[in-house]
Amino acid sequence: MGDYKFAKDKLAEVIGALKDYQVFAPTAVGDVVRFKEVEDASAIKLDYANSNVPPKELMFPETETLFKYRVGGADIESAVTEPKPRLVFGIRPCDALAYTIVDKLYNWDFPDPYYQERRDGSVLFGMACAEPAANCFCTSMGGGPASEKGLDALMFDLGETVYVKTLTDKGDKAAKAMGLDAAGDAEKKAAEAVEKDALAKIKRSLDTEGIPEKLPSLYDHPFWEQFSDRCLSCGICTFLCPTCHCFDIQDEQEGFDGRRARMWDTCMFSEYTVHTSGHNPRPTRKERTRNRISHKYSYFPEKFDVIACVGCGRCINYCPVNIDILDILEKSKQAEVKEAKA
Amino acid sequence: MVDENKLREKAKEVIARDDVRRLIGWKRGTYGFESAPIVLTDASEVDQLIFDPTCVQNPASFVSLEEKLPVPRGQEPDTRKVAVLVKGCDSRAIVQQLVEKAYDRDKIVVLGVPCTGVVDRRKAQKMFGVTSAPVEIKEEGDKYVLTIDGETKEAPKKELVADKCLRCRFPNPLVYDELVWDEVAKWADDDFADVDEFEKMSPEEKWKFWDEQFSKCIRCYSCRNVCPMCYCVECVVQKLKPQWTRRSTDISENSVYHIQRAWHLSGRCIECGECERVCPVDIPITKLNRKMTRDVMAMFEYEPGVDVEAEPLLACYNPQDPEEYIM
Amino acid sequence: MSEEFEPNIVAFLCNWCSYAGADLAGTSRMRYLPNIKIIRVMCSGRVNPLFMVNALQQGADGVLISGCHPGDCHYLEGNFYARRRFMLMRKLLEHVGVDPGRVNMSWVSASEGAKFKEVIDETVAKAKEAGPMEQFRRRQINW
Amino acid sequence: MMDESNPYLPYIVRIEETWYETPVGDRAVKTFKVNFVDDKVWDTWKHRPGNCAMVGRLGVGESMFCISSSPTEEGYLRFSIMEAGKVTRALHELEAGEMMTVRGPLGNSFPMEEWEGKNIVSIGGGIGQAPLRPVINFVRANKEKYGDLKVLYGARTSDLHCFKGEFDEYREEGTACHLAIDVEEKDWPHFVGFVPDLLMKVAPTPENTIAVTCGPPILIKFVTQNLEKLGFTPEQIYTTLEERMKCGIGKCGRCNVGSLYVCKDGPVFSYATLKTIPEAFA
């Protein structure tokens, strides 16, 4: 594939050249960075560690219509539409890696047309991390500040210029549409230096060896309570997780117009699993905390052969009560498994 | 003044009591300017307890967060007390919970820790960045001395301290069984100038402001769950029968959620500022609550979380209440 | 579009005074504006202020709570509670940018048919001035 | 199978007939006999005993129910639904001629082929008979392939027995049918007591036998215990699980017990599988 570059102050032109694409990029409202459709290229913010809300919302929006109907009628109108090709500009390698993990779930047995439609129609232009944040541990989860997994092109911020390395045909096509200049060895070298620097800045790590196998044996272990006792049962860790994919389905009516929609939901809410009878299989925060961690690090890999975590550090950064997933996993390794009860 | 050894000793004494089941306090976090709430059940764990300007969390929230499971047949319910460490602002939550009869006074042991202000993590991170090692902060006069990755740094207190502390009227706990150390002098007052400033805006400007803020909301409900006053078993926003707000996130439902929240906290909010602190998308939630607090004071001469003997604001009335807008 | 904006008003009337007042206005053949949709409640104290929020969300351009005069409540004190709640909710809605003219309360006794007409006229006039409620109206956002 | 391109789109069905299994009121059980509005659906529709479907009403929502008719009963589907929450209440309002939505068939099914040549014992309680009914009817329709069929069923009172008339039918065909109620009633000719006790009284032999059980969790717990006492191995015991569900196709996440999704990997599990998952009995 190709090597390209563009001058940073030409960003608006580069984005503007993408007439055939719907371009999404990180934009800031105050200090909050989130991926939005680009209307004005000057709003694009590239010097951030990780967006507050992960770009999973581009493939799996907070709320989306599944189908519409007239109440009392018998016609159902599906809301799957083929969107204009999308280009996600400046996505972090960890978030792109997360897509590849969630893909497995959404393609399991029944392909999910809503997710897949957006996924197939998207070109991902990643931006390598130059300044990983304090709680990043992507290198432990099969990614890295310049990981190419799941991306169509990877960009490196070299100060004045941006070096673009295309990785797929889709990416190359988009790079050509942007009208980029060819890059040479100087840029490649500089990019390598950026990656090396970034790697050195990643301070946190985790050896995942043995965790998926061990977690189920800690089902009744009291160590969960050290964490669940201070859990607020809020949705921050899961809503902001790029691999969390759970949702709720609700019917909504406005006059005679109705729709069935799905919206993000989280296993941390107590009402998530509660039965109509009032029985709740996960009645306390202990079960819910255990389920979140076990699902990511044990159940998901058991089913799909990959840990549902990319090490973006969001759940650590935003947890209001400092429930640190690395801390939990380290403690889980130390926890002694009691012999099965006789 | 702050003396962690004293705190641990006192805590050890309390948790060792036969009639105390658990003790809620603070411990050092795992990185940066974080501290974490901790629930102790055994005297051997008290060494983890700390108190310094990173201890922002309100331990009173965790009293009501504990789920009450049905007691298995043949077993007696555990009626032992819960001990809780509280700063001045946190203690108001205890007072208000007692006013609302959330539990009986003799079910809790309150250890008061007079406080001279806590650090706003956002401000500190802007100034010093985030480190993966936990930071220690000591207060020395009007400046903070921070130990960041082994290096000692200083910053003026007023630049790092949380906004709520800049207008703190209750640095000393209002309800306690014991104070861990001596009371501190009050250093600030609250003139609600920020509310006045906001009110100068026209309805259009106000809505423009809130439209932008509420649009960001992802409805993670952390503001609700962290709130010591939001202890309903089933929250009105998640009810399906009747359904007050839909679960979809859009400006309409988000606004109604925030209006409901502010409404249910009017005359109850004790201004610990936790809701705003925890918000992952920086919605200035206390702007709503402070407006209600100010108006409740002005209209009904009522302040929540101050007097254990008071009646809840909306469960009482005064025949002479204002009615200037009523036709 | 020369058609004048006609606001929708949802009015919560207490069974014992204001609803009877509305009846009296009707039987006395007073013409009050037809913009109001009346919901009869047993007491103004029954009106959860969230009713007002939900009415505004679901299509009302103005809301009105009407009950017995203070001291005349059939249940002795229901309207006193209602008054506190209303005053607070009005302040809150004003704070988020809802025109305060949309949020109204009145005391109308069973004998005040004429006052009922005045109250309705004023409520409608204020809502008209405020224009269509747009802020957090449900309008099939992202459907 | 379902609409391949979009598993979230339901089929519209017309209700042909409804009746109450238990007295009308709170927690009443109503049976709906439905047929697809679009006849062509039958060409691709294929369900097995134990399969579930999302049954719903447009404008209210949908919930997971087991299909209580056997695939051998052709030309209609049956659902027996207890009134409990928002969706079931809305469904109970519907009468013959009105429309519902059905999305399915979902989940796995009882391994009927594996069981060929074996005796079947069905042990049900209350509304738990609904997933067992297709098993019983499937075996009845394929008598030559299976051994002896025994039906054990109980509910709190005789009024609360679901599928009342059908037990007589079973008996007339020579199927051993043991009924129970919890509390003594006048003129009740059958067993009085809990289903696990009935099981011990009937004491089916474990030899070449499969036991299928469904009912409230407490019943499943004691029935499986008693089955083991009778000498059944965990591999011979099958039951169904239920969890709150939304999507029914293993995406929305809420129905997991351990690494299994009840909606996809279940609802039918052998007791041997369940024993390895601590969360299954939460």
Contact partners, residue B53, CB within 8 Å, separation at least 6: B117, B118, B119, B137, B139, B144, B160, B161
Q: Judge if A234 and A195 occupy the same domain.
A: no
The Cα-based distances of A281 to A122, A302, B150 in angstroms read 39, 22, 46
Q: Judge if B12 and B142 occupy the same domain.
A: yes
Q: Judge if B168 and B297 occupy the same domain.
A: no
Task: Give the nearest chain D residue to B242 (CA atoms).
Answer: D86
Which of A139, A166, A201 is the endpoint of a domain?
A201
Q: Judge if A188 and A236 occupy the same domain.
A: no
3-class state of residue D260 by DSSP: strand
Number of domains in chain B: 2
- Measured CA to CA, the distance from residue D137 to residue D16 in angstroms comes to 20
> Does A66 sit within 8 Å of D8, measured CB to CB?
yes
Instruction: Note the pLDDT tens digit of each residue in A42-63.
Output: 889 888 889 999 999 999 999 9
- Measured CA to CA, the distance from residue A331 to residue D106 in angstroms comes to 39
- Residue C66 belongs to some domain of the structure: yes
- Residue B285 belongs to some domain of the structure: yes
Q: Judge if B28 and B157 occupy the same domain.
A: yes
Instruction: Note the pLDDT tens digit of each residue in B16-27.
Output: 999 999 999 999
**pLDDT at position D282:** 66
Please say whether the dihedral angle defined by the alpha carbons of residues B53, B54, B56 and B57, taken in this order, is positive or negative: negative
Return the axis-axis angle of helices C78-95 and C49-57, rounded to nearest 10°. 40
Instruction: Note the pLDDT tens digit of each residue in C47-98.
Output: 999 999 999 999 999 999 999 999 999 999 999 999 999 999 999 999 999 9
- Residue A341 belongs to some domain of the structure: no
Number of domains in chain A: 2
Please identify every stretch of chain D with a pLDDT value under 50, giving residue numbers as ranges: none
Tokens for A90?
């400046």
Per CB-CB distance under 8 Å, the chain A contacts of B234 are: 271
Strands D29-36 and A63-70: unpaired
Q: Judge if A40 and A127 occupy the same domain.
A: yes
Fold classified for D119-240: Rossmann fold (3.40.50)
- Residue C99 belongs to some domain of the structure: yes
CA dihedral D38, D41, D47, D53 (to 10 degrees): -50
Chain B, 32 to 61: residues with Cβ < 8 Å from chain A are 32, 34-39, 57, 61
φ, ψ of residue C50 to 5 degrees: the values are -70, -20
Please identify every stretch of chain A with a pLDDT value under 70, giving residue numbers as ranges: 338-342
Cβ proximity of B113 and B122 under 8 Å: no
- Residue B325 belongs to some domain of the structure: no
Among B287, B288, B291, B279, smallest CA distance to B121 is for: B279
**pLDDT at position A339:** 55
Q: Judge if B84 and B230 occupy the same domain.
A: no
CATH class of the domain comprising D11-106: mainly beta
> Does B221 sit within 8 Å of A269, measured CB to CB?
yes
Q: Judge if B159 and B229 occupy the same domain.
A: no
Q: Judge if A20 and A162 occupy the same domain.
A: yes
Cβ proximity of C70 and C79 under 8 Å: yes
B284 confidence band (pLDDT: 50, 70, 90):
very high
Other CB atoms within 10 A of residue B115 CB: 23
**pLDDT at position D91:** 94
Min CA distance, D83 vs chain B (Å)? 14
> Does B222 sit within 8 Å of A236, measured CB to CB?
yes
Q: Judge if A188 and A218 occupy the same domain.
A: no
Q: Judge if A225 and A246 occupy the same domain.
A: yes
- Measured CA to CA, the distance from residue B35 to residue D151 in angstroms comes to 61
**pLDDT at position D79:** 94
Average pLDDT rounded to a whole number, residues C124-133: 93
Determine the structural domain holding residue B113 and report its residue range. 4-179
Min CA distance, B324 vs chain A (Å)? 36
Q: Judge if A230 and A320 occupy the same domain.
A: yes
> Does D254 sit within 8 Å of A267, measured CB to CB?
yes
Q: Judge if B54 and B109 occupy the same domain.
A: yes
Q: Judge if A20 and A159 occupy the same domain.
A: yes
Question: Which residue is associated with the tokens 């509304």?
Answer: D127
Tokens for D193?
């007591």
**Using CB atoms, which residue from D60, D99, D253 is nearest to A246?**
D253
Cβ proximity of C103 and C63 under 8 Å: yes
Q: Judge if B155 and B222 occupy the same domain.
A: no
Which of B179, B202, B226 is the endpoint of a domain?
B179
Helix or strand holding residue D192 (H, E): strand D191-192
pTM for the structure as a whole: 0.93
Instruction: Note the pLDDT tens digit of each residue in B119-168.
Output: 999 999 999 988 888 999 999 988 999 999 889 999 999 999 999 999 99
DSSP A312: -
- Residue B188 belongs to some domain of the structure: no
Among A230, A228, A244, A223, smallest CA distance to A287 is for: A228
- Measured CA to CA, the distance from residue D232 to residue D130 in angstroms comes to 23
Min CA distance, B264 vs chain D (Å)? 26
Instruction: Note the pLDDT tens digit of each residue in B36-49.
Output: 999 999 999 999 99
DSSP B48: G
Q: Judge if A171 and A277 occupy the same domain.
A: no
- Give the neighbours of chain C: at least 3 Cβ pairs within 8 Å: A, B
Strands D176-181 and A247-254: unpaired
- Residue A83 belongs to some domain of the structure: yes
Q: Which residues pair with D149 in a beta bridge?
A: D120
- β strands within chain C, DSSP E: 9-14, 36-41, 62-67, 103-107
Q: Judge if B160 and B252 occupy the same domain.
A: no
- Residue C3 belongs to some domain of the structure: no
- Residue C1 belongs to some domain of the structure: no
- The residue ranges of every structural domain in chain D are 11-106, 119-240
Cβ proximity of A26 and A46 under 8 Å: yes
- Measured CA to CA, the distance from residue D258 to residue A77 in angstroms comes to 36
Number of domains in chain C: 1
- Residue A340 belongs to some domain of the structure: no
Share of chain B above pLDDT 90, in %: 82
Q: Which residues pair with D6 in a beta bridge?
A: none
Q: Judge if A159 and A137 occupy the same domain.
A: yes
**Cα distance between the two ends of chain D:** 32
> Does B132 sit within 8 Å of A134, measured CB to CB?
yes
Query: B313 pLDDT exceeds 50?
Result: yes
Which of A201, A236, A262 is the endpoint of a domain?
A201
Average pLDDT rounded to a whole number, residues B11-19: 93
**pLDDT at position B172:** 95
**pLDDT at position A145:** 93
Strands A257-264 and B108-112: unpaired
Determine the structural domain holding residue C13 and report its residue range. 9-129
Name residue A126's amino acid: G
CATH of the domain at C120: 3.40.50
- Measured CA to CA, the distance from residue B5 to residue B27 in angstroms comes to 13
> Does B198 sit within 8 Å of C95, measured CB to CB?
yes
> Does C95 sit within 8 Å of B325, measured CB to CB?
no
Q: Judge if B8 and B152 occupy the same domain.
A: yes
Q: Judge if B111 and B219 occupy the same domain.
A: no
- Residue A339 belongs to some domain of the structure: no
Cβ proximity of C2 and C31 under 8 Å: no
**Using CB atoms, which residue from A109, A113, A287 is nearest to D250?**
A109
- Measured CA to CA, the distance from residue D33 to residue D35 in angstroms comes to 7
Task: Give the nearest chain D residue to B239 (CA atoms).
Answer: D86
**pLDDT at position D2:** 60
CA dihedral D230, D233, D234, D237 (to 10 degrees): -60
Q: Judge if A38 and A187 occupy the same domain.
A: yes
- Residue C4 belongs to some domain of the structure: no
| Total number of residues shown for chain C | 143
**pLDDT at position A342:** 39
Does B236 lie at the interface with C, CB-CB under 8 angstroms?
A: yes
- Residue B320 belongs to some domain of the structure: no
Tokens for D48?
């097995």
- Residue C48 belongs to some domain of the structure: yes
- Measured CA to CA, the distance from residue A270 to residue B67 in angstroms comes to 10
**pLDDT at position C2:** 55
- Residue C111 belongs to some domain of the structure: yes
**Using CB atoms, which residue from C138, C142, C143 is nearest to A68?**
C143
Average pLDDT rounded to a whole number, residues B213-231: 94
Average pLDDT, chain B: 92
Task: Give the nearest chain C residue to B252 (CA atoms).
Answer: C136
- Residue A206 belongs to some domain of the structure: no
Q: Judge if A47 and A184 occupy the same domain.
A: yes
As for the ipTM of the complex, it is 0.92
Determine the structural domain holding residue A319 and report its residue range. 211-334
Does A136 lie at the interface with B, CB-CB under 8 angstroms?
A: no
- Residue B43 belongs to some domain of the structure: yes
**pLDDT at position A108:** 85
Instruction: Note the pLDDT tens digit of each residue in B155-213.
Output: 999 999 999 999 999 999 999 999 999 999 998 899 999 999 999 999 999 999 999 99
DSSP A261: E
Q: Judge if B173 and B271 occupy the same domain.
A: no
Q: Judge if B212 and B246 occupy the same domain.
A: yes
DSSP D267: S
